[in-house]
Amino acid sequence: MKEQEIVLPSGRFARVRPIKWEDFVLSYDADLYKMITKPTVRCVTIDGAALVYQEVLDLDLDEMLPINHILGEMATNALANKKGIA
């Protein structure tokens, strides 16, 4: 899947790059909520600026849901494209 750009309800631009294995591994946490949030920190920029963890937590829900939707699609597509081990 390719990098995607969207306009958030606030008018800011979010760029979401595909999740890499490193992002997944470094996002692992026993706390499920942190584990869901960390890929956003690693894979998303808003108006060209990287995010820090607290900024992601502080995003309004209507800003965060479109970003999470894209990340979820990327993860789902990554699984769907795998045929298994030969």
pLDDT digits (tens, 9 = 90+) for 25-79: 998 889 888 888 899 999 999 999 999 999 999 999 999 999 999 998 888 877 7
Sheet holding 44-46, edge to edge: 4-7, 13-16, 44-46, 49-50
**Can you give the pTM of this predicted structure?**
0.82
Kind and range of the H or E run holding 24: helix 21-26
Which segments of the chain are extended strands (E)? 4-7, 13-16, 44-46, 49-50
Give the chain's end-to-end CA distance (angstroms, integer): 23
Average pLDDT over residues 10-39: 90
Q: Where in the chain are the domains?
A: 1-52
